[in-house]
Structure 1
Amino acid sequence: MATLHDVYQRRPHCYHKISHVEWSDWQWQQRNTLKHSGQLQEVFPHIGERQIELAREWERQGFRFQLTPYMLAITERDAEGNPLLSDPVWRQFFPVFDELLVEQGRQALDEYSTGEENWEIAQEMLTPIAHHKYDNRVILYTTDTCLGYCDYCLRSLQSTAQTEMHGGKQYWQETIQILRNHPEIEEIILSGGDPLIFSNSTIAKMIEDVRAIPTIKAIRLHTRAFTHNPYRVDDEFGKILCDYSVTEVAIHIAHPNELTQELQKSIGQIRKSGARTLLMAQIPLIKGVNNNPKILRSLFMGLYMSGIKPYYLLHNMPNIPAASSQRTSVRQGIDIMNTLGRKISHPAMPEYIIVHKTGKKTVPNEPNGTSEFIYCTSPEGHPIIRFKNWNGNWETYIDGID
């Protein structure tokens, strides 16, 4: 587990006049996010031209980025106070494009394009915000806005649109009414974007509306607030989880450096509320960030000791920009998981999965695959995986290159 520290003491120099009270205000954090390349030199006066150019290239491709001052404070910096290109937190927001792969034409086949943002299968959408893929549960895309934007996330990058694509508020009442007419749906997952971008009163109203549907038994909430802006998790939010018996909160996290004192305090806010909510972690596997047994061991055990169950290790997502620079091979993920197997506490081990448009697939720990999970090569010579999905259909997954 990473050494716990007060992030306020590590804030960049430009924030030194900010009081601890201001710093700890989650809305101040959001108002002062780093949002464009022009701000880089304001926050880091001595930052190198290469980092600025990487940010500009990101913007030229139609993407945007956003980091809270809190996230900037937990990045590792050099003697001049500049974020290190190799820092595992910084790399989650500013990918280091592998020019060699680009020159060799080895970009991933599913590189993200702002002109092709549709991830959902049309027949699975009950409304523009209600995604009904699996039999008994529905994901509600409450917003396309996040507390910060991760470069490995296929959903947050849809924020490139000038207006929200899903428009949660616009479709909310229509969605609630349709859910009442689907008694087979037992579980609702509030996702986004990040639902914690909303006020507590708005979140409470959404959960209240869902709880009022008699057939809904479980409610999940997916967020990265615990790592982007842990000050967002306050007493009132904990009370909401308790009052409405929220079943699970899924916490998104990628590196043990994110296991700060502030994150621990946010977990404490939930515990002291009396909420019986399960805390589960979803962890992306990212080249250059955490594709290392030692790092993942530290993260898994750190989460476990904090009362958070490492639930999924997600192979780096499809349809992301700079995919070839961020994605390992699936076999490398298997090697890491097999290295850790039986060497750490069993509840600290997540399930390793790949994510496909048609659904999730558990990765078998056999490095040569199985009869339903086959490593092969496309006609163009690219590594792919052929697998049988949860519906019994064969699908193709684009593998990474180590």
Structure 2
Amino acid sequence: MPRRSTSNPRARAATALRRSTGALSTAAMARMEADMAWFRELSAEDRSWVAAIIQAGIKGFVDWYPSDDAAAESGGTALASSVFGAAPRALAGVITLQQTVDLVRLSIEVVESNIDDVLEPEDAPAVHAAVMRYAREVAFATAEVYARAAESRGAWDARLEALVVDAVLRAETDESVLSRASAVGWGASGRVAVVLAAMPERRTETDLFQEVRRRARVAGLDALCAVQGDRLVVLLGGVDDEKRAAEPLVDLVAEGPIVVGPVTEDLSHAYLSARAALSAYRAASGWPEAPRPVRSSDLLPERVLAGDGHARRHLVEEVYVPLLRARGTLIETLAAYFATGSSLEATARALFVHANTVRYRLGQVADATGYTPSVPRDALALQIALVLGRQSGRQPGGEPGPAKL
């Protein structure tokens, strides 16, 4: 038992505690080794960092206790925060929040179980009460450390995510962009589609992005999100059917078109999906009855009328040219069909053939292009393809004439 002193009780107890700091730290480390398996599995460098935290915590209490603020109910927050030094991010990277709580709890238990041996009996009750107050302050400081680290990581991840999405939209997806995508959790190895929709007014970006990612995970997809102006841009990875993949987003966004670009082979080629989606999104007002979501390919007529050169070339190369190569009479039959108001009988009379022949040829048109002449939306795309194909100078047999696109 320490020698009795007549000095101020608080100062007397502080002196005794200060002399015992090393012994208390050693006891705490021994308990860590014995009771916490995760501590034994840390590297030597990480163990030394955790040991420094324990020592700083005990020393922090010894320094805190004699101050006038120690008796105050809310005092000591700044001193308790100093336990974690100048590198809270390093601490958050070494051990989890739960492990830090266990560390703090063990340190306090060690101090409480040993202070009776180093203090005068009449000083012990006050120190025990102070330990509990200090433990509360350290707990608040611990929560603050991890909250700041999480906030910092979240802000940094959001910036990286926005940079990745922006790079895709600008067709600048180099190796650094792929690395950034991986850093924010993008694990999809292929099949990427880009979705565009209007941002909802009464929902924060953070909340919206979290819900988009959650729904994507449920569907087995990866998702990266960003906002550009009033538009929400979502990159979906692991997509098989682009329209089906975009359906979970319908009730998360504002009224208006939800456009999804075609599926591309990987993130480095996702700019192709983005390019089509952006063009379709700008032209979507021309088809107010469009489904939500709508494929960018379903808006080819509106995109052509809005001046999209890629859409024009698509209709020529993928619709008009296959008709030329399949059979010369298909172009003639299709043109006559539209000229006679889509009447099988009138087309047959104009071509001097049987109506079943017209019906057969129109079936061939659908097989060659994927567009059915009797469906109004398909008929619009076919009519525009006919006009553009003639303007392109393409000749029967698929040979190009003078380029006019």
Q: What interval of TM-score do these two structures reach, taking the shorter chain for normalisation?
A: under 0.3
Kindly indicate which of the two structures has a greater share of residues assigned to strand: 1
Q: TM-score, normalised by structure 1?
A: 0.18
The structure number with the bigger radius of gyration is: 2
Q: TM-score, normalised by structure 2?
A: 0.18
